[in-house]
Amino acid sequence: MLMVSGKAALMVIDVQEKLLSAIHDSERLSARIQWLISACDTLNTPVLFTEQYPKGLGHTLPALTRLVEQPEVVEKMHFSVVAANCLPTHWQDYSQVIVCGMETHVCVLQTVLELVKAGKEVFVVADAVGSRSEENRQLGLDRMRDAGAHIVSREMVIFELMQQAGTEQFKTISKQFLRGEQP
């Protein structure tokens, strides 16, 4: 199944100030998530930010939320966004959820498993998720794939959402996100 513009939305899970420094290869992960958010915003794909216990872990990195004109942020105490019951009502309209963030084997995993169980098509962006160890990141990805989630890359996301070349949207994306060295 392909990701389809209008059916898909991007969920950025728990990329928070106090947690990021503990994540393996955190600078690269942050840069990749910024790239993905910017590309999705350019493609008019809705973006939701989640925050796990922000009083203790801080808020979403400002470098991420400022990439979206009107960032939508939800707070949670459960590891899973679904279990926290904090998804905005209009998110029920999206049959496809693209997921990035951290930690892959905890909040991302539990959210993805419950989204799949709820009947959503879930696309986990492998090069835009992170954990404190690479081993836990890979175990989380493996488990999500085994549960029916699609494991994809950032470029897969943007090419599937665009669907074709030769458009103004393609030209913009190509210039901004596909030239030169990428994070």
What is the model's pLDDT at position 181? 80
107 carries an active-site annotation: yes
| Proportion of the chain above pLDDT 90, given as a percent | 90
100 carries an active-site annotation: no
Query: Is the pLDDT at 180 greater than 80, yes or no?
Result: no
pLDDT tens digits, residue range 29-70?
A: 999 999 999 999 999 999 999 999 999 999 999 999 999 999
What is the model's pLDDT at position 120? 98
The model carries a pTM of 0.97
Domain 8-177 top-level CATH class? alpha beta
Does residue 119 contact residue 32 with C-beta atoms inside 8 Å?
A: no
What is the model's pLDDT at position 169? 87
Catalytic residue among 40, 100, 107, 127: 107
Residue type, 155: E
76 carries an active-site annotation: yes
Output the average pLDDT for the chain. 96
pLDDT tens digits, residue range 114-145?
A: 999 999 999 999 999 999 999 999 999 999 99
Catalytic residue among 14, 86, 120, 127: 14
Catalytic residue among 76, 100, 120, 127: 76
Domain boundaries, the chain: 8-177
